[in-house]
Amino acid sequence: MHEASIVERLLGMATAHVPEGAVLRRVHVRIGALTGLSPDSMRFYFDAMCPAGAALDVTVEPLRAACPSCARRMNVTEAGGSCPACSAPALHYENGLELDLVAIEVDDALDDRDRGEDSR
């Protein structure tokens, strides 16, 4: 249910930026690995709430970590675990809590053939 309220807010922000007469077609979102959000659940709620034909693209940002002992920086697949280089027991996570509305795609409601700059 957590995803439902987040998707509702994202959809509200996206539709607020759709120009008059245009149709929302796609919303691009980036989430962090530590948010606990499920991309599949987000898509499910988006499909239930969104205007017909729009889609949600969710990218999970790779989790970046740094070892406080050996200063090695790395991407990891999940939180927890030790440094693969020096076996230090704790890593410092540099990201993971992102929730960004990256872009929206819209279709112009006007037929492009009727636009002056397109006629030749």
- Within its chain, how far is the Cα of 82 from the centroid? 28
Cβ atoms of 86 and 70 closer than 8 Å: yes
Residue 11: exposure state from Cβ atoms within 10 A (0-12, 13-18, ≥19): buried
Element (H, E) at 56: strand 55-61
Tell me what pLDDT residue 119 has.
46
CA distance 14 to 39: 17
pTM: 0.80
User: CATH number of 2-109: 3.30.70.260, 3.40.50.300, 3.40.50.10320, 3.30.2320.80?
Assistant: 3.30.2320.80
Tell me the per-residue pLDDT of 57-70, one tens digit each, with 9 for 90 and over.
999 999 999 999 99
- Please give the average per-residue pLDDT across 43-59, as a whole number: 92
pLDDT for 9 beyond 90: yes
What ranges do the domains of the chain cover? 2-109
